[in-house]
A and B are shown apart, each in its own frame.
Chain A
């Protein structure tokens, strides 16, 4: 079992002394899916954003794909990580001035210096995997939210990443559009992709994840298998959270 992400005692504080991350440690092994749950403002997004250097931290250490970053981390190392880690955002964050295919080929062409034709071929392959190859020439604003999020997944996959980070990928979608994105994520998990997913989707977590990590106010409350977490959570705080989720 090769560990892909190891975080040790991560701590990050905001200006007012509030802790965004409070001594967080975790390990994700190759081919595994980790689901991160917790109420809003609990530090879930901050946590996964530290894994590709979008967020800095004050104490502790992160090791992603064998590359170590510490609080006074080095730009070059983060750049190396970003080339091997894909990320999908809540608001899709597609580039509105580029077509769907250009969105996908941007990083392969400019970061990996691949040839345009080669990048386009692979981009079309990814789009067909996501079932949206007919939209390749369109622009993000012409697509529905679900379609845009699938494009965003394809964009993240274009660099052939060894780890995918999902930051609430379905929270901004209409309810009837959520499943098309979750299906794409399920397929990726089946293909053996290592994934860290911040989400509120219980169904997805039960079915796909290997591990569930529950956070509250910057602390890890518990880390268990989904079976135990959803049927028999140890902590009072987790049970309360799950109860509230069930009501919706």
Chain B
């Protein structure tokens, strides 16, 4: 027993040695790299533990999480974020009961009305205006709402672009290509500015929803292209088979093409939503106090002036963490789907 483990350890080290020192240059390179890495790590840890003044983060944690949401109502966004975390954990490590797996998608979708209810209030909760929303809560809200709205729009656009009707095909192509040519910040900025101009007098939409609509218009063009890629990679024989069974055009799209295209496009779609999560930070320079916006407002506070590194490192860590969670969830979903497509 010990013999085996010792020999396997020896083989393991031999492998590493072979990997790192196949020739003189490689050995030298590895040593230099090791030296640099250890120096950088040492310095970073020293800074993280001794030099950095984490008070700027520690004393502002509620601000980072909830923005200027009234402090006696903090439990509301907290419940929402916790419920999102719980669902993530259930998705990843939860039991494989069939009814649970089947309802998971519904649970994910229902987190959005839940979040909106908890934030807006009404029906027994104190109503709170959207200008008090902020921090990570607002970042997540922007991401989830825009993702959910842009998916159906993206599907419709992709189908229109594949349509045999030339007019529809042209219109959606123009929309998709123009949207993909302009920078996101321009879409967001003009969304804030122009959406009110295009609405009838008297109807107003608050800043958060204007941002969500702008994100939706932007992201749906990208999603449409991902789904079009999925549609194009479905073999023509699938349509033959569906036709020979007597399914009509709409049934073929709904029952055969869309489900397969979504599965094929899933990795690209999750990348889009991770990108969307990062890009919500753009709203920080357009007047919303989301996660990065909170960081900026804290840095503007004379008490914490100049503590850029601490705040930015902390923010980078939070963004990195959420993105990584999203990526792990996505990879998990893909893996399950290749084993058994029912787990979608």
Asked if the two chains touch in their complex, CB atoms less than 8 Å apart, one says: yes
Q: Which of A54, A85, A110, A156 contacts B251 (CB 8 A)?
A: A110
A96 to B338, CA, bound (A): 11
Q: Decide if A95 touches B238 in the complex (CB within 8 Å).
A: yes
Q: Pick the interface stretch among B135-143, B241-249, B300-308.
A: B241-249
- Least CB distance, B46 to chain A, in whole angstroms: 53
Q: Decide if A110 touches B241 in the complex (CB within 8 Å).
A: no
Q: Decide if A91 touches B237 in the complex (CB within 8 Å).
A: yes
Which applies to chain B's interface (DSSP): helix, strand, loop or mixed? helix
A95 to B237, CA, bound (A): 10
Which of B237, B242, B245, B259 has the most chain A CB within a 10 Å cutoff?
A: B245
Query: Which residues of B lie under 8 Å from residue A95 when comparing CB positions?
Result: 238, 241-242, 256, 260
Q: Decide if A89 touches B240 in the complex (CB within 8 Å).
A: yes
Q: Decide if A54 touches B342 in the complex (CB within 8 Å).
A: no
Q: Decide if B255 touches A110 in the complex (CB within 8 Å).
A: yes
Q: Decide if A107 touches B240 in the complex (CB within 8 Å).
A: no
A123 interface hit (Cβ, 8 Å): no
A200 interface hit (Cβ, 8 Å): no
B7 interface hit (Cβ, 8 Å): no
A53 to B247, CA, bound (A): 13
- Least CB separation from B251: chain A residue: A110
Contact indicator per residue, chain A 223-242, by CB within 8 Å of chain B (1) or not (0):
00000000000000000000
Q: Decide if A110 touches B340 in the complex (CB within 8 Å).
A: no
- Least CB separation from B248: chain A residue: A79
Q: Decide if B244 touches A87 in the complex (CB within 8 Å).
A: yes
Contact indicator per residue, chain A 83-112, by CB within 8 Å of chain B (1) or not (0):
101110101011111010000001100110
Q: Decide if B255 touches A93 in the complex (CB within 8 Å).
A: no
A12 interface hit (Cβ, 8 Å): no
B263 interface hit (Cβ, 8 Å): yes
A219 interface hit (Cβ, 8 Å): no
- Least CB distance, A176 to chain B, in whole angstroms: 25
- Least CB distance, A144 to chain B, in whole angstroms: 18
Q: Decide if A96 touches B260 in the complex (CB within 8 Å).
A: yes
Query: Which residues of A lie under 8 Å from residue B344 when comparing CB positions?
Result: 97
Q: Decide if B237 touches A89 in the complex (CB within 8 Å).
A: yes
Known: A96-B260, A99-B342, A139-B340. A106 touches B255 (CB 8 A): yes
A-B contact count (CB 8 A): 62
Q: Decide if B245 touches A155 in the complex (CB within 8 Å).
A: yes
Q: Decide if B342 touches A79 in the complex (CB within 8 Å).
A: no
A54 to B245, CA, bound (A): 11
A54 to B244, CA, bound (A): 7
A8 interface hit (Cβ, 8 Å): no
Contact indicator per residue, chain A 40-82, by CB within 8 Å of chain B (1) or not (0):
0000000000001110000000000000000000000001001
- Least CB separation from A107: chain B residue: B245
A159 interface hit (Cβ, 8 Å): yes
B341 interface hit (Cβ, 8 Å): yes
Query: Which residues of B lie under 8 Å from residue A110 when comparing CB positions?
Result: 247, 251, 255
Q: Which of A97, A99, A159, A165 contacts B245 (CB 8 A)?
A: A159
Query: Which residues of B lie under 8 Å from residue A54 when comparing CB positions?
Result: 240, 243-244
Query: Which residues of B lie under 8 Å from residue A83 when comparing CB positions?
Result: 246
Q: Decide if B240 touches A97 in the complex (CB within 8 Å).
A: no
Q: Which of B225-242 contact A (CB under 8 A)?
A: 237-238, 240-242
A155 to B238, CA, bound (A): 14
- Least CB distance, A244 to chain B, in whole angstroms: 28
- Least CB distance, A79 to chain B, in whole angstroms: 6
- Least CB separation from A142: chain B residue: B340
Q: Which of A82, A91, A139 contacts B246 (CB 8 A)?
A: A82
- Least CB separation from B242: chain A residue: A95
Q: Decide if A139 touches B341 in the complex (CB within 8 Å).
A: yes
Query: Which residues of A lie under 8 Å from residue B241 when comparing CB positions?
Result: 87, 89, 93-95
- Least CB distance, A171 to chain B, in whole angstroms: 14
- Least CB separation from A79: chain B residue: B246
26 examples of A-B residue contacts, CB within 8 angstroms: A53-B243, A54-B240, A79-B246, A82-B245, A85-B244, A87-B241, A87-B244, A89-B240, A95-B238, A95-B241, A95-B242, A96-B341, A97-B263, A97-B341, A106-B245, A106-B247, A110-B251, A110-B255, A111-B245, A111-B247, A111-B251, A139-B340, A139-B342, A156-B244, A156-B245, A165-B244
Name B residues whose Cβ lies closer than 8 Å to a Cβ of A. 237-238, 240-248, 251, 255-256, 259-260, 263, 340-342, 344
- Known contacts A85-B244, A93-B241; 11 additional CB pairs below 8 A are A54-B240, A86-B244, A89-B240, A93-B240, A95-B238, A95-B242, A96-B260, A97-B341, A99-B342, A106-B255, A156-B245
